Structure 1
């Protein structure tokens, strides 16, 4: 298997896992849950990831360049947003969810060039 395909598979698995976590929340609390009085933007953002994460995973295989861009935007904005919200509510950044997101961002930053170069025309 090509390295770039393996990288896209890893991205997709991470996105599907994240989307599944958001789906569990939606199924448990509904689409309009306020995440225990979180700011409105946070509620909209987190709920939207229920749909955007799997979309990015699909695009990684059908429109790789668009999928790569969306994957980067998702994980970058997620880490920035979750850093802000975690600090805002006074929680520790050293929790497994935040660390896993941060590590995924680092992985994407270190590897995205391989699938990007392989899909110059898509």
Structure 2
């Protein structure tokens, strides 16, 4: 496969990741607009409240990095979706959750897990090509 094809696939995957993170940002923004940044999420533990509120800022930052600094964006994207699914799985053991949102996170995690290698390869080859011009 040509390097340009790998870079193009990487870009499209990163764009899909970024759009999904923008959707998640919208969800967190709606919560913040309705309840404020200091909402306790119906009595959730302090670390859960901090984590969920922080995603309002981390998700769009990750989306931006995916497009501007792909390597950092991919690392952060994987970290965000893994911690989100792990945290929400733990939370779901003790509290009712919105199953549609939870399942969408699992689907996104699986999509990232199965495609991140391609996204990484294309981002890495793009970085190498840019360094050649320095």
Q: TM-score normalised to the size of structure 2?
A: 0.85
**2:104 equivalent among 84, 100, 109:** 100
The equivalences for 1:1-122 within 5 A come to 2-89=8-95, 91=96, 95-120=99-124, 121=127
Cα offsets for 1:3-24 (capped at 9, x unmatched): 1111011100000000111011
Which ranges of structure 2 fall in alignment gaps of 5 or more residues? 129-134
Structure with greater Cα Rg: 2
Q: How many residues align?
A: 120
* Post-superposition CA distance 1:29-83 (Å, at most 9, x none): 0110000000000000000000000000000011000000000000000000000
- 2:132 is matched with none
| Distance in 1 (alpha carbons) for counterparts of 2:48 and 2:39 | 11
Hey, which bits of structure 1, 4+ residues long, moved more than 6 A? Answer: none
